[in-house]
Structure 1
């Protein structure tokens, strides 16, 4: 499968400028389906969970035989042909799931900032993290606009029945999570995860891919915010390592970084709320940011000056994101 030639730097800059200056019209919204509400909302939830399970099994039955071919023939030439097929199956899987969840919500989702995105290109996506609902929101917002989102997962999730094997087949990076005390005792553990991330990103360079990062590393709660003395109102402190490794491994491939901000003005919903059709208002704002060329070559683990610069760069984005969430939640609440 052939992909279009990469755009020039000038073309990239122009596209990012259009995306920043004119975020584009909101995504077209489908009319919400009539579903049980109030005390009967559990009926919608039960049907949604059952539908999700059936959809997962169906698409995985299509996915696994193709994945087996890649396992038996682990060559770059094979991957270039097989990976687009796997991604196409996963994209159809995402469409069926995300489309259903979006249509059963009472309030249409307000999604803006998608101008200038290309399906046949590479992106780094960075987003705040509040709920498992975030993943379905991002998939619905970006599906078929950019390549399939692939995000870093805890290594234990590979053992989840069916879906864990699917994530492995799609080359989702599985990472160990080490506590600060453990890393202080053995700094080599941190480098192991960084090397695993680097190997995964190298695989992504073969075909257009979107690398998804939740820089906070975990879901936001007020208790976690207080425990780490976060300076932000709606965010935890960002962890720069995953972003830095992705940029170092394949930064020159990325067309841009998509800075995505999700806000829930009526309160953060759970997955069950989403399944029952009561996620409330969902607001998504996206902007494309250029990837500084220097970030693609610097060594985050060994270059202290670069780490300082990178933290400052990410901190500026995080402050802007926190201010945006404050504006969105305050405006919707009034």
Structure 2
């Protein structure tokens, strides 16, 4: 088993109340293991607020805070794996790993054990973070996209992490003259513009055009500011994917299924009424994306929200596109 080491967080930045970007340096006198874009590492804190499993009268499982006799949260060690948002090239050059994580919460608003500890971190006074000295995973371009001329990356929320690692490494390789004729397209959606992590860096990589890369950012809960920004699209990732191939919204299909089944359509109607209609960034033509994403030579890799990934799988199957997802 790989040994545990203690690293130091050197940059810790909340980009919203529920999203965090941070960098970590390795234990002094050591370096992180070599890795490929798309892989992950296990992190650990020993001051995590523990939870307990409770089953309600209907048999549903809930995770609730585990409290001591005085009503205080019990603390303990928790280990969890996170995809790397850094590229191997920047780790070799600067030494750090980078992460993009979400504050997980249950329906009862119980925070994720490790993510909660990371968000409560009293940085920079408390900057220690334990890690397992092994980086692993098969969600890599050589294992999931080998042989395809067009690669579509679809990241929702912090599911962007493995893809920003891939894109940064491709950009670094291209600067050194190492590139191929593969077309890469990245769709990243989050709720608002402020939550589009790495947005400016990805735009700069796209503008440099050192390799064939198109960046499609989108927001699912557009603010007034977002509605006037023609550089970002609107709508959820799955509905943008549907829009590219002229398919109805998921919510439209749900409503039709409810009507066909002759059941109460009020819930389906409400979901459709609240859905954000997909709009691509102003500089991107749907016809051009359709050409890039020729089903015969395209693979789609996705990471993020489970229900959206399931719908992206459905869309890909309808279009005859190979589908891969990060599901460790």
TM category, shorter: under 0.3
**Structure holding more helix per residue:** 1
The TM-score, its normalising length taken from structure 1, stands at 0.27
Higher gyration radius (CA): 2
Relative contact order (alpha carbons < 8 A, sep ≥ 6): 1 or 2 greater?
A: 1
The TM-score, its normalising length taken from structure 2, stands at 0.28
